[in-house]
Amino acid sequence: MKAIVILLDSVNRHFLGLYGQALAHTPNIDRLAGRSVVFDNHWAGSLPCMPARRDLLTGRLNFLERNWGPIEPFDHSLGEVLRENGVYSHIVTDHYHYFRTGGENYVQQFDTYAFIRGQETDPWVSKVNRPARPAAFIGKYHPQYALNRTAFGKEDDFPSPRTLKEAAEWLEANKDEDQFLLWAEAFDPHEPFDLPKERLDPILTSYSGPEYMWPEYGVVDVPGSALAHIRDRYSRLLEMADHWVGKLLDVLDRHNLWKDTMVIFTSDHGYLLGEHNFMAKNYMPVYNEIARLPLIVHLPGGEQAGKRIQALTQSVDLYPTLLECFGIDPQLSCRNRLHGQSLLPLADGRTDKLRDELIFGYFGKNVNITDGEWVYFRSAAEPDNGPLHVYTAMPTTIGHAYGPAYIEDLTSVEAGRYLSWTEYPVYRIPGHVIKTKDQTQSFRQTGEHIKEHRLFHLREDPCQKHQVHDPAVEKRMMGKLTDCMRRHDAPAEQFVRLGLRADEQEGDFQ
């Protein structure tokens, strides 16, 4: 038995033909979908990048306990469980956050890993004299990426093509082996939306403005022509990633590996490209363009190919699915209680649902819930967003450790057995004393636009253009949210922060 996970970063599923709009031409993702089960109601859990990966690799939601951070020492990761059961794992990735402070212990859980250099601000190409920002340029500009960019010439010099090419080469070299997981993870189509000349030139014919490839996060603040151009760049970058995904699928074709290989395609989160007048992620409410993800699962031998599944599924479900794929009982083999459930009973028809609702969000921001019909964004009850603590045994976050420079009052930091689901002692750090390096990942409520509850009826308004004001439905969703948070081991303070009572049942809100 073999398994391959193909993870592309920041895929807005509306750009994929299999979800209806085909804003990008992705024949290889479509090709995989034709052999597979397609999940139509798949959702993110913890956001953004590293919290999403911790969900994927532990089978548990983490955004109720802490923000961006490492695999914790009390996590029982996918790689560890596979190794303990005789399954080899290898990751090929250009996602450089794995190698920054705040991204510890992820790739190290695999038996081996390959890191492809050069994405975004990866400190790779070294030069003391940093390049200056060009005069005709809008959006973000990072001198480190400008240096990295000097190492890219033709298309297969770019990091994501190199990543997927190396994954294909690894699979070719190990095609006759058994009992392995290949995790092929490309950073594209994450920004910067940079492209080789042959892919960029066709879309420059319709755009005459300043260079624009790296959008600012938040409210759209560029002319309409620039917005259209950045959407074109995103489409072309997704198409480039799709092309190289095809190289990996070619190996499966060439050696008929489809017969005994599970192949999963998905993303960590989505991305806004002008929808709701927002760009990117993090600052704004977690609209569907961010929260609803593509998920394609090829079962060995092509069983159930062409089936579409409407049941609610979530990123945490991949962990138990992969274990079951290798004949490993997720409940017996994992030391921690899982929040995810195997997708296989859905795929083969043993059940028609795994859950009635699910929750998702960023640490310290709105906690969001959907039951498939409604989606409800619940904000903090008080302006100070409290009470709120970071719970961690590894006090690092994006780009830095939580040391004296980032904690205003060190005497407020405590240690103890504060998490209900593990006996491992953790630091308990009050949220209001922490300074973050990147405010987009701050637990402080950033911007007035997220400091309110929101309710949308997904069946009638899938694009979430019209808020619904219905006290009865909101009460019902509050009850479901309370129950769901309890099932996901939420710290007691999270109920207080959101103005909910942890001891209330769903029926109490009717």
Which residue type sits at 294?
Answer: P
Contact 362, 441 (CB under 8 A): yes
pLDDT in the model for residue 247: 98
Q: What pLDDT digit, counting tens, does each position of 406-434 carry? A: 999 999 999 999 999 999 999 999 988 88
- What are the residue ranges in the chain where pLDDT is below 70? 437-451, 504-510
* Residue length of the chain: 510
pLDDT in the model for residue 509: 45
Rounded CA Rg of the chain: 22
In Å, the largest CA–CA distance within the chain is: 64
pLDDT in the model for residue 377: 97
Residue spans of beta strands (DSSP E) within 44-151: 46-47, 88-93, 112-115
pLDDT in the model for residue 441: 58
- The secondary structure of 193-250, three-state, reads CCCCHHHHHHHHCCCCCCECCCCCCEECCCCHHHHHHHHHHHHHHHHHHHHHHHHHHH
pLDDT in the model for residue 432: 87
Residue-by-residue DSSP string for 414-466? EEE---TT--S-EEEEEGGGB--S-GGG-SS--SGGGSS-EEEETTT-TT--S
φ/ψ (deg, to 5) at 161: -55, -40
CA distance 59 to 338: 6
H/E stretch holding 159 reads helix 159-173
CA distance 33 to 22: 14
Q: Which domains does the chain have, with CATH numbers?
A: 2-347 (3.40.720.10), 358-509 (no CATH)
* Selection from 245, 338, 299, 257 nearest residue 58 by Cα: 338
The residues, any chain, with a CB within 8 Å of residue 170's CB and separated by 6 or more, are: 90, 92, 114, 182
The residues, any chain, with a CB within 8 Å of residue 320's CB and separated by 6 or more, are: 59, 330, 338, 340, 341, 342
pLDDT in the model for residue 439: 59
pLDDT in the model for residue 373: 98
What is each CA distance from 52 to 59, 392, 395, 418, in whole angstroms?
10, 16, 18, 23
- Class of residue 355 by CB neighbours under 10 A (exposed 0-12, middle 13-18, buried 19+): middle
Contact 27, 238 (CB under 8 A): no
Q: What pLDDT digit, counting tens, does each position of 244-288 carry? A: 999 999 999 999 999 999 999 999 999 999 999 999 999 999 999
